Amino acid sequence: MKVDAIYVHFGELSTKGNNQKQFINCLARNIRHALKDYPTLKIDERRDFILVNLHDEDPESVMNRLLLVAGIQRLSLVYILEKDYQKIASAVVEIMEKEEGHTFKIKAHRVDKTFPISSMDLSAKLGGEVLRNVKRFKVDVHNPDVLMRVDIKSSGAYLYCHERIGLGGYPLGMNGKVTTLLSGGIDSPVAAYSLIRRGIKVECLHFASPPYTSEAVLDKLVDLLEVLSAYQEDIRLEVIPFTKLQEAIYRYVAEPYCITIMRRMMLRIAARCKEKNHALGIATGESIGQVASQTLESLGVINEVTNVPILRPLATSDKIAIINEAKRLGTYEISIRPYEDCCTIFKPKNPKTKPSLEEARFYESKFDYETLIDEAVANSYSIYIRNGAIIKDERNQDE
Ligand code: ATP
Ligand code: MG
């Protein structure tokens, strides 16, 4: 018997009310896009599931692709049959003959009430067929080695076992786009991934301070985004030349306030880029309490420069959990490569953990940062990544 299709179960649909249709359309569109290299596949959008008809494609390879698509809760290989008891029964026996293990359970679910056998009776009858025909199996209703599901729907009988867990979350693009601050550390790529998983597209922004920071940082960021492009096919990295602002800050601002002012400048620029790129918010990899600039008092003073929504997906995550997630994603090894970022180079000895807004404003009044911000934004350049490779690189281009 050959597997007919991959059965795609959605996540969290019950919580979405009127957004259901939008969710399904968006997910189906993303699935079609993710599977565009398999021309013979046919994708059927139903009210409560999506079916990827396999034809001659390799189920495992299609499955692996779908495991990276946000918005999918569970996936299973499915056999689709006519709603005929005898046919269903012999298929169940044939599938079970190939299964490993000693215990099983059949869970039938009759959605189509025109089918003459109730869910409970169908489970019991099919269970009896297995016991009679595949002698090594016993029933275990609590913790079976094989849980075989039989869904009777108007379009046919769907038989499947061994569900795989998908990414969950929302279909990408359903929840808009944000400008994400990417530093090259461990946290921000994990933050970017968690936004993508929740259906939010990311565009990344990096503040570079050459010659204080090395050009190699950009290679590192590209490597990180190549990993993340498995989840969001196209990602743009916008690089902001930050050196002049950085130098001005260290000239005019007292050392304990340098980080606070630097963050305020970053946020002002991010807000400008967010507007320019029609994004709906800004995101960072900040985590409460991690460092001096990430106390709630600091965040308050930093946030004051804009009223754009700021997402901090890792706000309450433990560092160890962030590291584990980075390892799972494959960003950790890239993130820990040694590099100098603009924060470590100018790191003050005793940064303010509870800065005051008045003092921050006082230091900012000492120099014309608006002009420096205009200049930085005007001189930004981008690197475009698609599917694990650079497709356009504005680095080192003549101005
Ligand atoms: P990461 O948070 O990525 O591990 P980190 O902990 O060294 O790096 P912090 O200095 O704590 O980063 O900065 C907190 C957040 O600020 C980062 O997660 C990132 O979103 C943003 N950020 C810091 N430096 C930069 C930079 N040079 N360019 C862009 N964003 C930055
Ligand atoms: Mg951090």
Ligand 1 site, residue 188, Cβ cutoff 6 A: yes
Tell how strand 156-160 and strand 201-208 pair up.
Answer: unpaired
Q: Give the torsion sign (CA, 41, 44, 45, 48).
A: negative
* Atom number in ligand 1 closest to CA 191: 18
Which residue, by CA, sits nearest to atom 31 of ligand 1?
183
Q: Is residue 183 lining ligand 1, measured as CB closer than 6 Å?
A: yes
- SS3 for the chain is CCCCEEEEEECCHHHCHHHHHHHHHHHHHHHHHHCCCCCCCEEEECCCCEEEECCCCCHHHHHHHHCCCCCEEEEEEEEEECCCHHHHHHHHHHHHHHCCCCEEEEEEEECCCCCCCCHHHHHHHHHHHHHHHCCCCEECCCCCCEEEEEEEECCEEEEECCCEECCCCCCCCCCCEEEEECCCCCHHHHHHHHHHHCCCEEEEEEEECCCCCCCHHHHHHHHHHHHHCCCCCEEEEEEEECHHHHHHHHHHCCHHHHHHHHHHHHHHHHHHHHHHCCCCEEECCCCCCCCHHHCHHHHHHHHCCCCCCEECCCCCCCHHHHHHHHHHHCCHHHHCCCCCCHHHHCCCCCCCCCCCHHHHHHHHCCCCHHHHHHHHHHCCEEEEEECCEEEEECCCCCC
- Full-model pTM: 0.91
pLDDT number for residue 16: 57
192 lines ligand 1 (CB under 6 A): no
CA 274 / ligand 1 centre spacing (Å): 17
Report the alpha-carbon angle 114-48-59, nearest 5.
Answer: 100
Contact in structure between 269 and 377 (CB atoms under 8 Å): yes
How long is the chain? 399
Instruction: Tell whether ligand 1 has an atom less than 6 A from the beta carbon of residue 104.
Output: no
Which pLDDT does position 233 carry in this prediction?
A: 95
Tokens 């169908």 belong to 122
Smallest Cα–Cα separation from 170: which of 65, 357, 25, 355? Answer: 25
Give residue 12's pLDDT.
57
pLDDT tens, per residue, the chain with 399 residues: 889 999 999 865 655 566 788 889 999 999 999 999 998 999 999 888 999 999 989 999 999 999 999 999 999 999 999 999 999 999 999 999 999 999 999 999 999 999 999 999 999 999 999 999 999 999 999 999 999 999 999 999 999 999 999 999 999 999 999 999 999 999 999 999 999 999 999 999 999 999 988 888 999 999 999 999 999 999 999 999 999 999 999 999 999 999 999 999 999 999 999 999 999 999 999 999 877 778 899 999 999 999 999 999 999 999 999 999 999 999 999 999 986 665 566 677 788 889 999 999 999 999 999 999 999 999 999 999 999 999 999 997 754
Taking each helix axis as running N to C, give the angle between helix 119-133 and helix 85-98, from 0 to 180 degrees, rounded to the nearest 10: 50
364 contacts 264 by C-beta, under 8 angstroms: yes
Q: Is the CB of 213 under 6 A from ligand 1?
A: no
**Per-residue model confidence (pLDDT) at position 147:** 97
Residue nearest to atom 26 of ligand 1 (CA): 183
Q: Does residue 313 have its Cβ closer than 6 Å to ligand 1?
A: no
Distance 185 CA to ligand 2 centre (A): 7
Task: Output the CA 230–ligand 1 centroid distance in Å.
Answer: 22
Q: How far apart are CA 270 and CA 239, in angstroms?
A: 11
Residue 14: what pLDDT?
56
Provide the pLDDT for residue 353. Answer: 86
